[in-house]
Amino acid sequence: MAKQKKRATVEDLKARLDAINPELFEMLSAPKTHFSFRVNLNRSNTDEVLQGLKEEGFEPKAVEWSNEAFILPIEDREKIVKSKIYTENKIYIQNLSSIFAALNLKIEPHFWVLDLAAAPGGKSLIFSERAQKVSAVEPDKSRFFRMKRNFKESMAKNIQTYNKDGRFIYKACPQWFDAVFLDAPCSSESHIDMQKGITWWSIRRIHKFAKLQKELIISAFESLKTGGEMIYATCTFAPEENEAVVNFLLKKYPNAKVLPIEHKLPNTQQGITKWQNEEYSNEVAKTLRILPNKAYSGFYMARINKDEG
């Protein structure tokens, strides 16, 4: 008789999360209390947005680390999409962890930035407000066209879009970009809704994404100019898709260096250096896991520099 595959259970997920952080499962299971948005600087400014939202009865709270990111209680989530400020594309609803990560990419006004896994485009929009030019890559056709529409509505005029597979970009564009962001496709553990269960979660999926992420991080690093910085990020907790991918890059490229991430976020944890039977470079401890809390969803990010070598 054919051997039946064992289905992943919530207990399997909990055991893995407990091994990363004993509070993580509870944090992930807690109901959402807040959401966040960012001011679209291509269309408006913070003063206009705050005034407009106030007139429409909203009371957004600023975050400490940016004057363009704000939070609101989750009860306002349905209401805000009907507001004038939102329908005029003056704000963009985006998770605080994503905003924080994108703002951490070091960008100067003359930079050409590569966003290697870009749809729906929220991070490219942040780069476009700071850089001279952005190249946004997305292989999935429907996500690609949604992203293009998003850029148009947001009036971002300096983003070139490519409906391509990010794994091969470096072949056509070796060392082209001043800065690179890789928001890798991942097993999305931070988006698991515990009320609905773990329908799509499995260890197999984690390993499938880890393989793709290793190919993508090579492409990101090879596309980056010497001396440039990149960020590798995911919205999952699995060390196989996070620390292990960064560790893989460090082993393959001695000129890849992990940079510290300065922040005042309370809900974080440094990168882990041991997972199951694996040990990673101590450098990986400089990477950051953002734990789910209020308007922050779970996230992982690593800042990487390409040295002269």
- 23 is an interface residue for ligand SAM by CB under 6 A: no
In the list 137, 156, 220, 301, the residue contacting ligand SAM (rule: CB under 6 A) is 137
In 173-239, alpha helices (H): 203-223
| Residues annotated as part of the active site | 235
- Contact segment (CB under 6 A) with ligand SAM among 41-49, 56-64, 114-122, 262-270 equals 114-122
243-252 vs 203-223: helix axis angle to the nearest 10? Answer: 40
The neighbour count for residue 66, using CB atoms within 10 Å, is 15
Q: The dihedral of CA 108, 303, 240, 96: what is its sign? A: negative
Question: Is residue 121 a contact residue for ligand SAM (CB under 6 A)?
Answer: yes
Binding mask 209-238 for ligand SAM (x = CB under 6 A): -------x----------------------
Q: Of 13, 6, 4, 5, which is closest to residue 198 (Cα–Cα)?
A: 13
Interface with ligand SAM, residue 161, by CB under 6 A: no
Near ligand SAM by CB under 6 A: residue from 69, 80, 105, 119: 119
Residues in the chain: 309
Residue nearest to ligand SAM (CB): 166
Q: Is 271 in the site for ligand SAM (CB under 6 A)?
A: no
> Using CB under 6 A, which of the segments 13-21, 106-114, 133-141, 192-200 binds ligand SAM?
133-141
| Both structure tokens of 149 | 């529409």
Of 179-198, binders to ligand SAM (CB under 6 A) are 183, 185
CA-based nearest residue to 125, from 80, 170, 71, 68: 68
Q: Closest separation between CB of residue 101 and ligand SAM, Å?
A: 9
In whole angstroms, what separates CA 72 from the centre of its chain? Answer: 21
Strand partners, 285: none
| Interacting residues with ligand SAM (CB under 6 A) | 98, 116-123, 137-140, 143, 165-167, 183, 185, 216
